Amino acid sequence: MSKFTKPLESATRKKIDQMLINLGWNVDEDDPNCNVFTERAKTYEPKKEKYYSQFPTVKFETIMKENTKTIKIDDNKEYTRITVKLHGQGIVLRDKIFGKKIKTKTQKVTKADQFIVAELDAKFGAFGVIPKELEGAIVSSHYWLFDLDTNKLIPEYFDYVIRYGPYENIIKPSVKGTTNYAAPRPKHILSMQLPLPTDKDVQKDIVNKLNEQLEIKYEATTKFNQLLTQLIIEPSFKQTGSNIKTTVKSVILSDKESPDLRKYMK
């Protein structure tokens, strides 16, 4: 039974077990002599994947520190709120709202280049680095903020690695709790590792190359959408048909050249 995780026991279940023990029953289901078995769901312990990198790996706790500072909301002040999108899709503006409409009066204030993790949606990749234009936005206690040590790493490098790397899968084994509220804890985040070149110039070079590839991908996607629009909407598509091969070829090439961190994490 070692391949199964230990089932969660309720207080009632424990009382029943104690009553059975008093009657001379063996309720230890891991014991070969157990004579009481309870039908209940058990979860399979997920296999932890191993990832390798050409660069040295360091724990998050060596390059960041949790920031737990809070503020009290002023009813007469306007605040910016943000949304941390799932699957590493970034942080975006949610809305601007006056304090009197905010029910939870204790909030955290974000800073540019902080690492933010959405507690309940971390298992779905809801994390990233706060962009400069959203500095000063507020978040509730269900978000964790970490100050990055910029003496050791470039925030843009960390943002690429955390968003495009396998961290959604790395976080999942540490998720604890019931289905709707299962979440890791800050200590689980800080215990994770990432590949980190010790030379910041190498980090910067990687960021520049990835930026170039994202630009190529963006241009290719734009061309693809334009071609698709011509195909479906424009009646004069026949006149543009001669450009199909060239455009599609550029899209295919660009797709191959889009950011892929697997070459840095093998």
pLDDT category of residue 132 using cuts at 50, 70 and 90: very high
Which parts of the chain are beta strand (E)?
A: 57-59, 64-67, 71-72, 78-84, 91-98, 106-109, 115-118, 127-129, 138-139, 143-148, 193-195
**Across 1-5, 50-54, 88-92, 153-157, least confident range:** 1-5
Query: What pairing do the DSSP bridges indicate for beta strands 193-195 and 143-148?
Result: unpaired
Q: What's residue 25's pLDDT?
A: 82
- The C-alpha atoms of residue 81 and residue 4 are separated, in whole angstroms, by 42
Nearest to 146 by CA among 167, 184, 118: 118
Q: Is the pLDDT of residue 258 over 60?
A: no
Q: What's residue 228's pLDDT?
A: 85
Mean pLDDT of 92-116: 97
- pTM for this prediction: 0.67
**Across 37-41, 127-131, 151-155, 188-192, least confident range:** 37-41
Q: What's residue 126's pLDDT?
A: 94
Mean pLDDT of 129-134: 96
**Residues contacting residue 37 through CB under 8 Å, at least 6 positions apart:** 29
* Order of all β-strands in the sheet with 127-129: 64-67, 143-148, 115-118, 127-129
Q: Is the dihedral of CA 72, 190, 169, 115 positive or negative?
A: positive
Q: What's residue 2's pLDDT?
A: 45
Write the DSSP assignment of 169-223 as a string of letters: HHHGGG-BSSGGG-B--HHHHHT-EEE--SSHHHHHHHHHHHHHHHHHHHHHHHH
Dump pLDDT digits (tens) for 159-187: 999 998 889 888 877 776 555 566 788 99
Percent of the chain whose predicted confidence (pLDDT) is above 90: 54
pLDDT category of residue 143 using cuts at 50, 70 and 90: very high
The length of the chain in residues reads 266
- Measured N-to-C along each axis, helices 200-232 and 155-164 cross at an angle, to the nearest 10 degrees, of 50
**Residue 26 in tokens:** 């063996």
The residues with which 59 forms a beta bridge, in sequence order, are: 193
**Across 28-37, 132-141, 252-261, least confident range:** 252-261
- The C-alpha atoms of residue 241 and residue 249 are separated, in whole angstroms, by 14
